[in-house]
């Protein structure tokens, strides 16, 4: 959420962001509600002041006729005040709802575009493998090694469900543990987080109201299954004042994650690319409200991702996401795409975002700066690793002609020093 003061003072820039991000929010209507809300508040204050003044007169008035007249005036004022409060409350509800749909303004370097086709490729790292034998996709490799059962997954839990088995389970645990250890050495606090969260956490991190169709709900308990540990990690500090001396605060959250994948019927339905439940390690950082410092941290956590993929010996590319791809809260986002032979393409496996104070305003996360002024902290996030999607390039890029799969050196300590899945 951006402040209404900023919207009043930078109306055209906000309207431009709405258009460039492809959002549907009427800024003129929002400002009209804001004006009405302020006028209503003034009127309420005036009515309360007059009511209190007359109420005091009643207590000191000795003339019964005059006293009765004042009591009647107080009664009428109370009626007017009640009507005004109800009307203002209705305006406030509409105003608050619209505010939740106002996007952050993209950073100057973000290209204007509609979708991923308008992202800008910045660099490619690693060599795309060439196979001198008919390569197998991850489904075939899993069948050879008895590592996956999607048929029974569908039987038990519906479409896009699966059972990982045998070495696939060990490989998934190995890659997650490797990333946790890697991030711990770089100053991140490992966190195992709640997967069930309240609506405030989803709304506060920007996943509600836009995106609510992607979340699984448990209405009886007023809880939701989070699609990323970012939700819990950022909400961890809701309504708190953070000590500036501890910035930047770095967390590495690990959890199962859940997404309905609404609107993707028939898309990416084969294999493990798009599933409802997955494991994820997420990087989340809190820092002071300084765009230059936040930008430096953005590139630090982006580097973490690149170093992880390099350690996994996987070819990838880095793209600067366009305005239509960066979402409501992000001011900057890089997408990291890993080469997947079966898809003959680089496909997204990581997403690195700067959100400035978008989330902390919603969640009331502040700090006191060196001048004693209260400010909202900035937040950033980036994928550490997400599985089973990362298993696709791990299995496919490292396969051998005999069907064996070479285990990257970085993962061997987590797999009993094995060099291959035979």
Q: Is 389 a catalytic residue?
A: yes
Q: Is 274 a catalytic residue?
A: yes
The secondary structure of residue 213, as a DSSP letter, is: G
Do residues 195 and 230 touch, judged by C-beta distance below 8 A? no
List the catalytic residue out of 274, 317, 412, 418: 274
Helix axis angle, 166-185 relative to 291-311, nearest 10°? Answer: 140
Render 90-127 in DSSP notation, one character per residue.
HHHHHHHHHHTTPPPPPPTTSPP-SSGGG-EEEEEESP
The secondary structure of residue 377, as a DSSP letter, is: P
List the catalytic residue out of 282, 325, 337, 348: 348
* Cα–Cα distance, 421 to 402 (Å, whole number): 11
End-to-end CA distance of the chain: 51
List the catalytic residue out of 351, 362, 366, 396: 351
Render 282-348 in DSSP notation, one character per residue.
EEEEEE-S-HHHHHHHHHHHHHHHHHHHHHTT--EEEEE--GGGSTTT-SEEEEEEEEEGGGTEEEE
For 221-247, the three-class secondary structure string (H helix, E strand, C coil) is HCEEECCCCHHHHHHCCCCCEECHHHC
- Sole residue written with tokens 């939701």: 224
Q: What is the Cα Rg of the chain in Å?
A: 27
List the catalytic residue out of 51, 136, 250, 259: 259
Residues 6+ apart with CB under 8 A from 30: 7, 95, 98, 99, 102
Q: Is 104 a catalytic residue?
A: no
Active site residue ranges: 259, 274, 348, 351, 389
């Amino acid at each position: 959420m951006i402040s209404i003061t900023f919207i009043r003072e930078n109306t055209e820039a906000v309207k431009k962001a709405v258009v460039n991000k492809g959002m549907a929010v009427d800024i003129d209507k929002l400002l009209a509600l804001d004006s009405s809300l302020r006028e209503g508040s003034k009127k309420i204050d005036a009515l309360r002041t007059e009511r209190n003044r007359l109420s005091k007169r009643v207590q000191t008035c000795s003339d019964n006729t005059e006293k009765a007249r004042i009591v009647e005036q107080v009664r009428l004022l109370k009626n007017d005040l009640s009507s005004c409060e109800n009307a203002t409350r209705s305006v406030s509800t509409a105003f608050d709802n619209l505010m939740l749909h106002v996007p952050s303004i993209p950073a100057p370097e973000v290209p204007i575009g509609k979708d991923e086709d308008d992202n800008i490729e910045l660099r490619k790292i690693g060599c795309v493998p060439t196979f001198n034998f008919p390569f197998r996709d991850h489904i075939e490799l899993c069948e050879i090694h008895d590592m996956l059962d999607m048929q029974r997954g569908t039987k038990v839990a519906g479409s896009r469900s699966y059972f990982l088995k045998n070495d696939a389970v060990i490989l998934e645990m190995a890659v997650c543990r490797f990333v946790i250890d890697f991030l711990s050495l770089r100053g991140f606090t490992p966190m195992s987080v709640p997967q069930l969260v309240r609506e405030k956490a989803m709304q506060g991190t920007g996943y509600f109201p836009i995106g609510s169709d992607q979340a699984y709900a448990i209405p009886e308990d007023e809880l939701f299954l989070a699609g990323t540990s970012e939700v819990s990690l950022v909400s961890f500090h809701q309504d708190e004042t953070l000590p500036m001396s501890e910035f930047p605060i770095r967390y590495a959250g690990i959890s199962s994650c859940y997404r309905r994948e609404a609107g993707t019927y028939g898309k990416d339905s084969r294999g493990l690319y798009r599933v409802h439940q997955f494991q994820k390690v997420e990087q989340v950082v809190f820092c002071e409200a300084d765009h230059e410092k936040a930008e430096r941290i953005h590139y630090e956590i982006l580097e973490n991702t690149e170093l992880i993929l390099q350690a996994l010996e996987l070819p990838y590319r880095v793209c600067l996401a366009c305005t239509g791809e960066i979402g409501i809260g992000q001011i900057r986002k890089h997408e990291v795409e890993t080469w997947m032979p079966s898809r003959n393409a680089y496909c997204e496996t990581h997403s690195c975002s700067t959100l400035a104070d978008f989330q902390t305003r919603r969640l009331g996360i502040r700090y006191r700066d060196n001048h004693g002024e209260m400010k909202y902290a900035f937040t950033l996030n980036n994928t550490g690793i997400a599985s089973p999607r990362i298993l696709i390039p791990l299995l496919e890029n490292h396969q051998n002609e005999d069907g064996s799969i070479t285990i990257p050196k970085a993962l061997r300590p987590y797999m009993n020093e094995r060099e291959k899945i035979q």
